[in-house]
Amino acid sequence: MLFKVEMTVKIPHDMPEEIAADIKAREKAYAQKLQAQGQWLHLWRVAGSYANVSIFDVQSNEELQEIISQLPLFPYMEISVAPLCRHPSSIHEDDR
Amino acid sequence: MLFKVEMTVKIPHDMPEEIAADIKAREKAYAQKLQAQGQWLHLWRVAGSYANVSIFDVQSNEELQEIISQLPLFPYMEISVAPLCRHPSSIHEDDR
Amino acid sequence: MLFKVEMTVKIPHDMPEEIAADIKAREKAYAQKLQAQGQWLHLWRVAGSYANVSIFDVQSNEELQEIISQLPLFPYMEISVAPLCRHPSSIHEDDR
Amino acid sequence: MLFKVEMTVKIPHDMPEEIAADIKAREKAYAQKLQAQGQWLHLWRVAGSYANVSIFDVQSNEELQEIISQLPLFPYMEISVAPLCRHPSSIHEDDR
Amino acid sequence: MLFKVEMTVKIPHDMPEEIAADIKAREKAYAQKLQAQGQWLHLWRVAGSYANVSIFDVQSNEELQEIISQLPLFPYMEISVAPLCRHPSSIHEDDR
Amino acid sequence: MLFKVEMTVKIPHDMPEEIAADIKAREKAYAQKLQAQGQWLHLWRVAGSYANVSIFDVQSNEELQEIISQLPLFPYMEISVAPLCRHPSSIHEDDR
Amino acid sequence: MLFKVEMTVKIPHDMPEEIAADIKAREKAYAQKLQAQGQWLHLWRVAGSYANVSIFDVQSNEELQEIISQLPLFPYMEISVAPLCRHPSSIHEDDR
Amino acid sequence: MLFKVEMTVKIPHDMPEEIAADIKAREKAYAQKLQAQGQWLHLWRVAGSYANVSIFDVQSNEELQEIISQLPLFPYMEISVAPLCRHPSSIHEDDR
Amino acid sequence: MLFKVEMTVKIPHDMPEEIAADIKAREKAYAQKLQAQGQWLHLWRVAGSYANVSIFDVQSNEELQEIISQLPLFPYMEISVAPLCRHPSSIHEDDR
Amino acid sequence: MLFKVEMTVKIPHDMPEEIAADIKAREKAYAQKLQAQGQWLHLWRVAGSYANVSIFDVQSNEELQEIISQLPLFPYMEISVAPLCRHPSSIHEDDR
């Protein structure tokens, strides 16, 4: 089951750089683990911004919540979620 | 070069049904041709709406404009466009 | 799997009354069938408006889309969807 | 009398963790007491967010205000309220 | 129990004048009956607009819905509702 | 001459409690003095929020500005103002 | 007593031209009469739009409502009103 | 050439009072100098707010930018600008 | 003196095609004349939309208003205007 | 390939002046290098604001992202991006 998730990062200006660097490193590792596991299907940067467009592939709303709420950057992001499903005009097998 | 495009269909209530049906049929054929050609990379329905989330793969802004402006439903849609690029944390080859 | 769905009805002013009445009658029958089947878990009127707040219980995003897109009033409503899941502080078994 | 209440938590980034933990613990206890008493009828997490959708069952606007203003997280939440009532198409006894 | 209700009238430009006049006459009679009965506590015009600010005094959300949904202008108004209650600093007996 | 004024309180999270308490005490005293003098005609809490709906009765825009700008909570509130006047359908003498 | 009023004209596309021309002619005559009487103190076009910024000088909210609601274009305009008063830094006698 | 400029002051809550007082004093002196020179044609307080509506009379966009960017409160204000010109219905010589 | 102007075209769905075609042809001729005269400095299509971003070079707000209000598509466009001036970091002579 | 980029600068009030001055100096040098290289085609100040309108000329979305994300002021700006392409009515060679 697919969800489009858009995340915009807003790190507080007064966060010490080494803390920010640590959070970002853990975010990257976590994002890559989820991609390797198949739950984070697509991850794109929105050009000209500190934001991404992502497609998640999960079994349930609950799994989506568990994944997103554990993002190291979760407290510092504005996040919007849209549930997706197969479009009647799609010819791509993986556009579920 | 990828773009996220979101389209929400707003067909006027007074459009005769056979005209609407014709436009939708042409829209579907056109969308499937563009998918077969590789320019319309992903096409998902947003659950609970008459809207889609799409990923286009084009050579230029101009090609994107040509494709979208020729959609049979173009005059009846609200459309938003976001340019995408590779995310530094992506492990997927096709998340350009 | 639960979704909160909010629907605001905007029937065009020039729709003949008997057509509107027919659509509303079919909407009511359809809504009651879905409630009886367990997919439309809650249905409330928002006081002072022609709008409702609903909770749907479905197996997938796709099922939600099928149900909502077949609402007789679907072309005449503004609809917003939010995926829900269990809250860690809930004590109610049915707040999944 | 039912009200839909949506709450989004925005804890300041510079709040010490033990203070935040204490507030959240008291919030949970308070929320569970109100659920046990029947005033907090439903409590769902919105998937992908630090937010909830709730249904309250109270005798009056005043009781709603007393309950919500005493939430330990009250100063740190954006809250919206919609009064609900029975929908003419509902078949559920408890959708008052 | 008090509610603040704001109504903005948007009569379609193509409504025949005698129909509009009839609706407005019935709206006025209905509004004055509700004021006489005590349910429509205050009714003010917002200066420079075709809008009003009103205070309703009802027993329940349901009663509010019944009153507002029967306004002859109901299909032609944008309406917002806010539940009110006693303010701890009020000295007026009737500011419940 | 009446004005509807809506005020939402946003006290900074890092304001010391005793300073906040002092401001609130002075706000209450000031609000009650203005009510006793007849300038603050109505004062309601919006249920579920730290906000109020008020009706002011003043001689001029200037008097309104003087009253509101001297509110002890003035620097910490979002305030909106709407000028009111008699509604042609009102039957209440005091709905000027 | 001064008010800033902003008006944006939205004439329906299907209004016959001679009717529109008549309304605009009456609007102009009315606006010039009110300027001659001193109630419409300033009237500017917003460059690049079919909109104006105006300053009205009236005795009361009620007078403002009477003037604006009688504008021939009133049913076809979006109108916003802000009450003005003397600014403590103004040196102009007529900036009341 | 006239411009309508609206400014809303948002002084940070943690700015020391003597610094704020100094900025405001310099703002007032600067505003009065510009009024005396004829560039700041009108300056009104919006009743019930810490905001103003102003009319500037300048030779060019560049002159407007120079004047506004040098306002001592410039870093602490939300500012909107609308270019004005003569309205065809104006009878006032100075409504250019 | 430069202005950025953004125009989004919203032609009514029920406008006969030959009338629309005539308006568009006149719009094109007018736009090209203004470009040839140097007043319409830049004209770009926004990719994926029926909208443009334009830079106008005029002597005054009044000239801008005259040019824009005479656009054949003027009644069918949403238009926003921003006054521009030289940026202190620009190295381009023509970025005035 | 052209993009319109709008940037609004929001430097935190508590940033030390010498740090802000250093960031701005590096921003200016970087902006001028990109202009000299031809990637930053136009750069205008929006009159009355701390904002700019820019036109970038790049080979791809990726190049745009690289350029913008390296702006020294990037963490302190609100940025919006619109892809541009040739307008069918343009007569300017460089309005690609």
In order of C71, D85, E21, I34, the CA distances from E67 in angstroms are: 27, 13, 21, 57
**Shortest CA distance from B83: residue in chain J:** J61
Contacts of E67 (CB under 8 A, 6+ apart): E34, E39, E40, E56, E58
Q: What is the pLDDT of residues I38-56, one digit of tens each?
A: 999 999 999 999 999 999 9
Rounded CA separation F69/H52 (Å): 13
The verdict on E59 touching D (C-beta cutoff 8 Å) is no
Contacts of I26 (CB under 8 A, 6+ apart): I72
Handedness of CA I32, I33, I36, I40 (dihedral sign): negative
The verdict on H67 touching I (C-beta cutoff 8 Å) is no
Show residues of chain A in contact with D24, CB under 8 Å. Answer: none
The answer to whether the CB of G95 falls within 8 A of the CB of G42 is no
pLDDT band, residue J63 (cuts 50/70/90): very high
Q: In this predicted structure, what is the pLDDT of residue H94?
A: 87
Write the residue in G3, G61, G86 that is nearest to F84 by C-beta: G61
Rounded CA separation E25/E20 (Å): 9
Show residues of chain F in contact with D68, CB under 8 Å. Answer: 47-49
Q: What is the pLDDT of residues B26-51, one digit of tens each?
A: 999 999 999 999 999 999 999 999 99
Write the residue in E11, E14, E48 that is nearest to G68 by C-beta: E48
The answer to whether the CB of D92 falls within 8 A of the CB of C43 is yes
Share of chain G above pLDDT 90, in %: 97
Rounded CA separation F68/F39 (Å): 11
Place of tokens 């319309």: B40
Rounded CA separation J73/J71 (Å): 5
Q: What is the pLDDT of residues F37-73, one digit of tens each?
A: 999 999 999 999 999 999 999 999 999 999 999 999 9
* CB-based contact G85 F61, cutoff 8 Å: yes
Six-digit token string for E4: 């603040």
| Phi (first) and psi of residue H89, to 5 degrees | -100, 0
Report the gap between the CA of G13 and the closest CA in chain F (Å): 31
Substitution target in D53, D77, D81, D84 with the highest count of F β-carbons within 10 Å is D81
Q: In this predicted structure, what is the pLDDT of residue J94?
A: 87
CA-based angle C94:D2:D3, to the nearest 5? 95
The verdict on I8 touching J (C-beta cutoff 8 Å) is no
Sequence-ordered alpha helix ranges (H) in chain J:
17-37, 61-69
The verdict on E48 touching G (C-beta cutoff 8 Å) is yes
Report the gap between the CA of B47 and the closest CA in chain J (Å): 27
Alpha carbon A68 to its chain centroid, in Å, reads: 7
* CB-based contact E48 G12, cutoff 8 Å: no
Task: Give the number of beta-carbon pairs within 8 Å between H and I.
Answer: 37
Q: In this predicted structure, what is the pLDDT of residue F94?
A: 87
Report the gap between the CA of B39 and the closest CA in chain C (Å): 25
Q: Would you tell me which CATH number, out of the four given (1.20.1440.230, 3.40.50.300, 3.40.1390.20, 3.30.70.1060), belongs to the domain D2-10+17-82?
A: 3.30.70.1060
Structurally, at CATH architecture level, domain F2-83 sits in 2-Layer Sandwich (3.30)
Instruction: Give the chains touching F; criterion: ≥3 Cβ pairs < 8 Å.
Output: D, E, G, H
How many other C-beta atoms can be found within 10 angstroms of the C-beta atom of residue F75?
Answer: 16
Q: In this predicted structure, what is the pLDDT of residue D74?
A: 98
Rounded CA separation B28/B71 (Å): 9
Rounded CA separation F52/F54 (Å): 6
Q: What is the pLDDT of residues B47-80, one digit of tens each?
A: 999 999 999 999 999 999 999 999 999 999 999 9
Instruction: Give the chains touching B; criterion: ≥3 Cβ pairs < 8 Å.
Output: A, C, I, J
Superfamily of domain A2-82: Dimeric alpha+beta barrel (3.30.70.1060)
Max intra-chain CA distance, chain D: 49
The verdict on J84 touching I (C-beta cutoff 8 Å) is yes
The verdict on H11 touching F (C-beta cutoff 8 Å) is yes
Helix, strand, or coil (residue C25): helix
Q: What is the pLDDT of residues J65-94, one digit of tens each?
A: 999 999 999 999 999 999 999 999 999 988
* Domain definitions of chain G by residue range: 2-74
CATH number of G2-74: 3.30.70.1060
pLDDT band, residue D94 (cuts 50/70/90): confident
pLDDT band, residue C40 (cuts 50/70/90): very high
Write the residue in D64, D65, D86 that is nearest to E62 by C-beta: D86
Report the gap between the CA of G32 and the closest CA in chain E (Å): 18
| Phi (first) and psi of residue I40, to 5 degrees | -105, 90
Beta bridge partners of A45: A52, B85
* CB-based contact J47 I4, cutoff 8 Å: no
* CB-based contact B48 C3, cutoff 8 Å: yes
Give pLDDT < 50 ranges for chain H: none
Rounded CA separation D6/D77 (Å): 10
Q: What Rg do the C-alpha atoms of chain C give, in angstroms? A: 14
Beta bridge partners of D51: D8
Chains I, C in contact: 3+ Cβ pairs under 8 A? no
Average pLDDT value for residue range G34-59: 98
Q: In this predicted structure, what is the pLDDT of residue G94?
A: 87
How many other C-beta atoms can be found within 10 angstroms of the C-beta atom of residue G80?
Answer: 11
Task: Give the number of beta-carbon pairs within 8 Å between F and G.
Answer: 37
* pLDDT surpassing 90 at residue E17: yes
DSSP F35: H
* pLDDT surpassing 90 at residue B86: yes
- Closest C-alpha to C53, from C85, C95, C5: C5
pLDDT band, residue I96 (cuts 50/70/90): confident
* CB-based contact J76 A45, cutoff 8 Å: no
Average pLDDT value for residue range G71-86: 98
* pLDDT surpassing 90 at residue I22: yes
Substitution target in E49, E50, E52, E53 with the highest count of G β-carbons within 10 Å is E49
Within chain E, strands assigned E span 2-9, 40-46, 51-57, 77-86
Long-range contacts for I49-53 (Cβ within 8 Å, ≥24 apart)?
I49/B68, I49/B79, I49/B81, I49/I8, I50/B69, I50/B74, I50/B75, I50/I8, I50/I9, I51/I6, I51/I7, I51/I8, I51/I9, I52/I6, I52/I7, I52/J87, I53/I4, I53/I5, I53/I6, I53/J4, I53/J82, I53/J84
- Closest C-alpha to J14, from H8, A15, H14: H14
The verdict on E74 touching G (C-beta cutoff 8 Å) is no
Q: What is the pLDDT of residues E23-32, one digit of tens each?
A: 999 999 999 9
Helix, strand, or coil (residue D78): strand
Q: Classify residue C55 as exposed, middle or buried by CB count within 10 Å of its CB (0-12, 13-18, 19+).
A: buried
Q: What is the pLDDT of residues G10-37, one digit of tens each?
A: 999 999 999 999 999 999 999 999 999 9
Substitution target in J85, J90, J95 with the highest count of B β-carbons within 10 Å is J85
| Phi (first) and psi of residue H78, to 5 degrees | -95, 125
* pLDDT surpassing 90 at residue A94: no
